[in-house]
Amino acid sequence: MQDIVIYGAGGLGREIRAYLRASDVTGQAWNFTGFIDDGKPAGSPVGDAKILGGRAALASVTKPTAVLLGIADPAAKEFLYAEFSQNPRLSFPALIHPLANVEPSAVLRAGTVVAPYCVVSVNTVLGTGTLLNVGAQVGHDSVLGEFCSVMPHVAISGNVTVGEKTLIGVGAKILQGLSIGANTTVGIGSVVLNNVPSRCTVLGYPAKIIKKAEQP
């Protein structure tokens, strides 16, 4: 039974702890040792677990340990994944809640988390570090880039491409065949009927650009 920790002891991290507990019932057993969190003192209680320390605690790991990222910010996930990947003893499993429906032909890259009541259809790809929150749906042949975060009850239709580090807000809907750029935010409840470029924020029905990020 391999040790596993969750980075982030906030609401999402504690929810992922519950998903992990549920997955143990299905035979995907882990030895959950605690949370890693840079904002709380080591030893602080978090439900039935405790804070093991900050990021430095993972740097000193001496035996194989799995890590789940309990945060939703796409850029932060990318940063942490890159840092933790430098330790060859750390791995990033995909976690699927037993109440999610994930088709066998779907590809889930390292560190993906699929929450309860999600539906992941045929021939989809979820990139490294992607989060599908409660009740999100991803249609056939869609591809989500690395470190995306898809919030509760989002509906992504078939043949949609989503660029890396994109956040899709609660209840948003995306029409089939569209492309959503990288580093983009789709606002809560938006209905996307046209392609969306990278590095912007869209909102509304139909979704329109309300903010463009400065080029790096």
Q: How many CB atoms lie within 10 A of CB 129?
A: 25
Q: Would you state the pLDDT for residue 25?
A: 52
Residue 39 to residue 139: CA distance in whole angstroms: 37
Its domain, for residue 125, covers 96-212
Query: What residues contact residue 87 under an 8 Å CB cut-off, 6+ apart?
Result: 58, 59, 61
Q: Which of 93, 112, 142 is the last residue of a domain?
A: 93
Structure tokens at 82: 């890159």
Q: Which of 93, 111, 141 is the last residue of a domain?
A: 93
Same domain, 106 and 208: yes
- Tally of domains in the chain: 2
Q: Would you state the pLDDT for residue 138?
A: 98
Same domain, 105 and 203: yes
Q: Which of 60, 93, 126 is the last residue of a domain?
A: 93
Q: Would you state the pLDDT for residue 58?
A: 85
In the predicted model, what is the mean pLDDT of residues 98-112? 96
Q: With a cut of 50, say whether residue 26 has pLDDT above it.
A: no
Q: Would you state the pLDDT for residue 24?
A: 66
Same domain, 153 and 185: yes
* Tens of pLDDT, residues 170-182: 999 999 999 999 9
Amino acid letter, 146: E
Same domain, 111 and 80: no
- DSSP 8-state code for residue 196: B
Same domain, 136 and 78: no
In the predicted model, what is the mean pLDDT of residues 106-114? 96
φ, ψ for residue 14, nearest 5 deg: -70, -35
Same domain, 72 and 154: no
